[in-house]
């Protein structure tokens, strides 16, 4: 089993419904959902990878446990208990490294601090990656700092290298993006830009390699 610490829209946030429908799966219930049509393109294929991970933004990326789930959950609960809810910047749909994703309209120091705390607080419960897992990350393509983070934290996009993003597609060609981006923008309308607060830490679990991630628990921020 793998565990991940994610941000996900609250269940009563319209972004939860719209984003889950776009991806074709509700990570809260595991239910498969009917997706909107895309002219000339297969939306199920375009969203396949993102659908498997569920609607989310990564705080601490998926990791195998070196102990029990209960121990890791207790550490996550302690982190949530000492974290105060805060405002999330409005989100915007944009192309990001070839993907379509929801990004912050402005950087949030509180969001960055929350993400950093997730990385460090749960790391004692992370099993180290295997050599094969390290190799799959292609460290030869990374900067020196990224390689150091990969070795120390099991992932290279942490701390200064991290960015908030809610992935909504695979990498697209320019021709595909010309079709998908307007359709996705119309589907989401003005919902990404609505004011919202970060009030929960979401625990996602993956039962086995290749299995879809499910939202196991929403831990309220109580600080």
SS (H, E, C) 23-70: HCECCCCCCECCCCCECCECHHHHCHHHHHHCCCEEEEEEEEECCCHH
Domain annotation covers residue 112: no
pLDDT tens, position by position, 180-223: 999 999 999 999 999 999 999 999 999 999 999 999 999 999 98
Domain annotation covers residue 137: no
Domain annotation covers residue 103: yes
Q: What is the pLDDT of residue 54?
A: 98
| Overall number of domains in the chain | 1
The whole domain housing 33 covers 2-107+163-220
Domain annotation covers residue 30: yes
CATH number at residue 203: 3.90.1140
Lowest mean pLDDT among 26-30, 40-44, 128-132, 205-209: 128-132
Q: What is the pLDDT of residue 40?
A: 95
Residue 10, pLDDT above cutoff 90: yes
Q: What is the pLDDT of residue 133?
A: 86
Q: What is the pLDDT of residue 136?
A: 87
Which of 211, 196, 216 lies closest to 77 in space, CA to CA? Answer: 216
Domain annotation covers residue 118: no
Q: What is the pLDDT of residue 130?
A: 87
Domain annotation covers residue 205: yes
Percent of the chain scoring above 90 in pLDDT: 95
Domain annotation covers residue 185: yes
Residue in the block written with tokens 């933004």: 57
Q: What would the two tokens of residue 185 be?
A: 């923008």
Are the C-beta atoms of residues 191 and 18 closer than 8 Å to each other? yes
Domain annotation covers residue 20: yes
């Amino acid at each position: 089993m793998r565990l991940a610490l994610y941000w996900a829209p609250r269940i009563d946030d319209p972004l939860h419904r719209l984003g889950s429908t776009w991806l074709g799966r509700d990570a809260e219930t595991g239910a498969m959902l009917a997706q909107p049509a895309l002219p000339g393109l297969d939306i199920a294929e375009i969203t396949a990878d993102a659908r498997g991970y569920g609607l989310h933004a990564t705080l601490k990326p998926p990791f195998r446990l070196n102990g029990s789930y209960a121990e890791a959950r207790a550490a996550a609960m302690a982190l949530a208990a000492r974290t105060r809810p805060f405002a999330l910047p409005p989100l915007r749909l944009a192309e990001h490294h070839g993907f379509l994703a929801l990004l912050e309209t402005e950087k949030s120091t509180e969001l960055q601090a929350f993400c950093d705390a997730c990385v460090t607080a749960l790391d004692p419960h992370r099993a180290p990656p295997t050599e094969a897992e390290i190799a799959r990350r292609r460290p030869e393509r990374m900067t020196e700092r990224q390689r150091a983070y990969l070795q120390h934290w099991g992932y290279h996009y942490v701390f200064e290298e991290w960015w908030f993003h809610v992935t909504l597609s695979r990498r697209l060609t320019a021709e595909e993006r010309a079709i998908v981006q307007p359709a996705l923008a119309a589907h989401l309308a003005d919902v990404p830009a609505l004011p919202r607060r970060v009030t929960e830490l979401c625990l996602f679990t993956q039962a086995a390699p290749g299995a879809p991630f499910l939202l196991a628990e929403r831990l309220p921020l109580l600080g």
